[in-house]
Amino acid sequence: MAGRSFTGLVYIGTSVDGFIAREDGDLGWLMSRGEAAGDAGYSDFSAAIDTMLIGRSTYEVVQSFGSWPYGGKHVLVLSRTLDAGADDKISVVRDLDEAADRLGSLGAQRVYIDGGRTIQACLAAGWVDELTISRVPVLLGTGASLFGPLPGDVDLEHVRTDVLGGGMVQTTYRVVR
């Protein structure tokens, strides 16, 4: 694509050892500890988002909630397997090239990138401008990792750190180009 015109944002909870879900997708360890942190700034963050770019696993977890949390936002689901017409609340995109075209045609401005593999792909592609990582005080030892391999170092700039209820440490970083 020609120059990227949107801002890519990550806002995610992890264990201290960097997992975003257990192997089976369980988030109970996060929810239980996250409760004490309250909203943790999520409402303000979410209100400033116009478009979601999420992975298929994240989409399936969100669907299981029963109520759709992304009303009023465009939702792109990155998946090679999902039926393109399965759900009229979403657009299925097969890869980042297709996502880029779609984000361009939607005029996306602030894109919330969510899901481990999608975040990893977007970090590798240079699509992430800011990360807010909220670490809950537990080591899980195994699970789905927030981070993965990269083509090179990604330099970050510390923006802010807050200690929230329940010992959650929330840090925002800006990606340095």
Site for its own copies in 100-139 (CB under 8 A): 123, 133, 135, 137-139
Q: Does 71 bind its own copies (CB under 8 A)?
A: no
Residue 113: Cβ-neighbour burial (10 angstroms; 0-12, 13-18, 19+): buried
Question: Of residues 49, 93, 140, 144, which one binds its own copies by CB under 8 A?
Answer: 140
Q: Does 67 bind its own copies (CB under 8 A)?
A: no
Q: 157-167 b/e with 16+ CB inside 10 Å = b?
A: eeeeeeebeee
Question: Of residues 25, 29, 45, 117, which one binds its own copies by CB under 8 A?
Answer: 29
Q: How far is the CB of 89 from its own copies (least distance, A)?
A: 32
Q: How far is the CB of 119 from its own copies (least distance, A)?
A: 11
Query: Which one, 77 or 114, has the nearer CB to its own copies?
Result: 114
Pick left, alpha or beta for residue 66 (phi over 0 → left; psi -120 to 50 → alpha; otherwise beta): left
CA-based angle 88:86:117, to the nearest 5? Answer: 100
Q: Does 149 bind its own copies (CB under 8 A)?
A: yes
Q: Which residues are CB-neighbours of 128 under 8 A, at least 6 positions away?
A: 8, 9, 10, 113, 119, 122, 175
Q: Does 171 bind its own copies (CB under 8 A)?
A: yes
At 73, the amino acid letter reads: K
Q: Does 75 bind its own copies (CB under 8 A)?
A: no
Q: How far is the CB of 82 from its own copies (least distance, A)?
A: 27
Strands 130-136 and 7-15: parallel
Residues that bind its own copies in the complex, under the rule CB under 8 A: 16-18, 29, 123, 133, 135, 137-142, 146-158, 161, 163, 167-169, 171, 173
